[in-house]
């Protein structure tokens, strides 16, 4: 069984990309219906305050780390997360695996046309890649409304092997929690801003920053108005909470 660590009540798997790829293949071959979300410092700060989000992550098949802050926190706790898996890079690897293995995909999220552009860019590199459809994330997400029901019906009619949802945290997690039992896909990933990066709509930080644990700073410099609170306030808050909860034993909010 794959080892886990727990930060703020969230179980995080100590998994490599190769291990994740193996789990994807096994789940699709067995025609399972599983959820594989990712966590970073922002996700764990949200989970600290929201018991429903902790429950969401802990019901997932696998939870992997997409963030140097989580890896550093694990190190302080005496554990080693073997690899950071970040969507801006890994999405191309996932598309390559889907292309070679014949897995089908569906993209949900982003502003209108962004998921479609991401799909086209991936198919330019992998011409045999089967992306069954795309849909933006700006729809009525009320679980009982017609627009939401029609979208779920569309996804289910296509029955993709891999469903990637990029609507940002915690919107994508809430939507999945409310609609999970109605979705027909083998594996669902939560990808945040994945389509913005893959489509080219959003630039990444320079490679020297991403390779040295400073991608958060690069993102802050690129989108300061949107991300200043997440990083300028959120990173120190995460450290304070880690010390208070893990090392001093303060309880999580109920």
Taking the CA atoms of 145, 171, 92 and 101 in sequence, report the sign of the dihedral they define.
negative
Least confident window among 65-69, 96-100, 145-149, 201-205: 201-205
pLDDT tens column, 26-64: 999 999 999 999 999 999 999 999 999 999 999 999 999
Residue 228: the pLDDT is 83
Mean of the per-residue pLDDT values of the chain: 95
Residue 1: the pLDDT is 76
Q: Is it the case that residue 78 has pLDDT exceeding 90?
A: yes
Q: Over range 96-103, report the average pLDDT.
A: 98
Do 51 and 71 contact (CB within 8 A), yes or no? no
Q: Is it the case that residue 210 has pLDDT exceeding 90?
A: no
Confidence of residue 217 (pLDDT cuts 50, 70, 90): confident
Q: Is it the case that residue 214 has pLDDT exceeding 90?
A: no
Collapsing DSSP states into helix, strand and coil, what is residue 4? Answer: strand
CA distances from 176 to 25, 46, 223 (A): 22, 16, 27
**Selection from 180, 214, 182 nearest residue 86 by Cα:** 214
**Selection from 67, 78, 111 nearest residue 235 by Cα:** 67
pTM of the predicted model, to two decimals? 0.94
To the nearest whole percent, how much of the chain has pLDDT over 70? Answer: 100
Complete domains list, the chain, with CATH: 4-199 (3.40.50)
Q: Is it the case that residue 227 has pLDDT exceeding 90?
A: no
Residue 163: the pLDDT is 98
pLDDT tens column, 140-175: 999 999 999 999 999 999 999 999 999 999 999 999
Does residue 170 have a cis peptide bond before it, meaning omega lies within 30 degrees of 0?
Answer: yes
């Amino acid at each position: 069984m794959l080892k886990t660590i727990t930060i703020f009540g969230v179980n995080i798997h100590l998994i490599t990309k190769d291990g994740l790829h193996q789990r994807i293949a096994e789940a699709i071959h067995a025609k399972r219906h599983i959820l594989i979300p990712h966590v970073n410092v922002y996700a764990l700060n949200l989970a600290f305050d929201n018991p429903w989000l902790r429950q969401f992550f802990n019901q997932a098949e696998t939870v992997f780390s997409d963030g140097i802050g989580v890896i550093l926190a694990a190190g302080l706790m005496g554990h080693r997360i073997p690899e950071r898996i970040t969507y801006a890079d890994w999405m191309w690897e996932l598309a390559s695996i889907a292309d070679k293995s014949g897995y089908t995909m569906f993209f949900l999220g982003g502003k209108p046309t962004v998921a479609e552009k991401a799909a086209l860019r991936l198919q330019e590199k992998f011409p045999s890649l089967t992306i069954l459809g795309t849909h933006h994330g700006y729809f009525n997400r009320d679980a009982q409304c017609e627009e939401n029901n029609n979208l779920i019906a569309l996804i289910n009619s296509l029955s993709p092997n891999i469903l990637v949802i990029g609507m940002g945290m915690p919107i994508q997690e809430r939507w999945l929690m409310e609609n999970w039992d109605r979705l027909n896909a083998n594996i669902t990933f939560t990808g945040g801003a994945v389509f913005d990066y893959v489509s080219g709509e959003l630039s990444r930080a320079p490679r020297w920053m991403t390779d040295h644990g400073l991608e958060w700073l690069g993102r802050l410099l690129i989108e300061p108005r949107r991300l200043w609170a997440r990083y300028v306030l959120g990173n120190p808050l995460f450290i304070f909470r880690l010390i208070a909860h893990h090392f001093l034993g303060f309880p999580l909010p109920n």
